[in-house]
């Protein structure tokens, strides 16, 4: 192992951030990643579950190379990979989150179906029998008691958030939620649903920073 360090590991409130040098050979990065996990950082990386975000800088990587990084990280059973992104991908995601957010005020009643290409912010309630279908995120500042389908064209990085989450069904991309009584907390705090490794999860919206670090800019349409 050379003295040159190509990988910086930082501990943050929500887990760990791996910052990869974007100017060295990819093979050197993998070698150092193996070394740090097995030798120098073994104690840090064993223990409770930790979320990991990998920052690639300006490096352009193929899907195969990203899978190689994931494969090395997964050897540590306590590391949960949240994202592996370059600066360009982070910027693209930020711009996507800021585009096409429609703001609606009112109540979506039984039999009504609202569709939107982008994200939707509803200032009101979604009643049982009503549906919201969006290609982006869904935010309900009220009770979500109907059916909500985010990422309707296949995006898996979207969320469904509500002041009170009591849906008949949630769907993100092609993943359909389990029966609500199995996973809703019943807590009065605002919650959001998201995908993690292909399974739908629910957490308090105060924890949204774990997957969304950039500020959201709402634009009425």
Please, which pLDDT band fits residue 58 given cuts at 50, 70 and 90?
A: confident
User: CA nearest 82: which of 52, 102, 37?
Assistant: 52
pLDDT computed for residue 120 by the predictor? 93
CA distances from 27 to 22, 30, 136 (A): 12, 5, 36
215 has a pLDDT exceeding 50: no
pLDDT computed for residue 89 by the predictor? 73
Distance in angstroms (rounded) separating the CA atoms of residues 162 and 121? 10
* 134 touches 118 (CB < 8 A): yes
pTM more than 0.75: no
pLDDT computed for residue 116 by the predictor? 92
Per-residue pLDDT averaged across 180-186, rounded?
Answer: 54
Pairing verdict, β 119-123 and 113-116: unpaired
User: CA nearest 172: which of 139, 147, 200, 205?
Assistant: 200
Q: Dump pLDDT digits (tens) for 113-163.
A: 999 988 999 999 999 999 999 999 999 999 999 999 999 988 888 999 999
Q: Dump pLDDT digits (tens) for 168-177.
A: 999 999 999 8
Residues with Cβ within 8 Å of 140's Cβ and at least 6 positions away in sequence, in order, are 122, 124, 125, 126, 132, 148, 161, 162, 163
183 has a pLDDT exceeding 70: no
Per-residue pLDDT averaged across 194-221, rounded?
Answer: 66
Q: Dump pLDDT digits (tens) for 146-157.
A: 999 999 988 888
Distance in angstroms (rounded) separating the CA atoms of residues 53 and 32? 17
Q: Dump pLDDT digits (tens) for 28-39.
A: 888 888 888 877
């Amino acid at each position: 192992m050379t003295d040159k360090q190509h990988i910086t590991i930082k501990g943050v409130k929500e887990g760990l951030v791996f910052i990869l040098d974007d100017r060295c050979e990819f093979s050197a990065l993998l070698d150092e990643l193996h070394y740090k996990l097995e030798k120098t950082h073994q104690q840090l990386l064993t223990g409770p579950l930790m979320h990991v975000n990998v920052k690639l800088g300006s490096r352009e990587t193929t899907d195969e190379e990203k899978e190689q990084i994931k494969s090395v990280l997964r050897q540590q059973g306590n590391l949960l990979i949240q994202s592996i992104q370059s600066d360009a991908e982070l910027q693209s995601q930020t711009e996507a989150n800021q585009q096409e957010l429609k703001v609606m005020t009112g109540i979506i009643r039984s039999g009504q179906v609202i569709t939107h290409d982008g994200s939707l912010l509803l200032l009101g309630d979604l009643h049982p029998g009503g549906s919201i279908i969006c290609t982006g995120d869904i935010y309900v500042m009220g009770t979500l008691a109907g059916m909500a389908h985010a990422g309707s064209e296949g995006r898996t990085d979207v969320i469904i958030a509500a002041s009170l989450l009591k849906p008949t069904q949630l769907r993100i991309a092609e993943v359909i939620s389990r029966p609500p009584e199995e996973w809703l907390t019943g807590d009065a705090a605002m919650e959001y649903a998201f995908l993690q490794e292909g399974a739908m999860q629910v957490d308090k919206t105060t924890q949204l920073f774990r997957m969304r670090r950039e500020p959201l800019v709402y634009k009425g349409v």
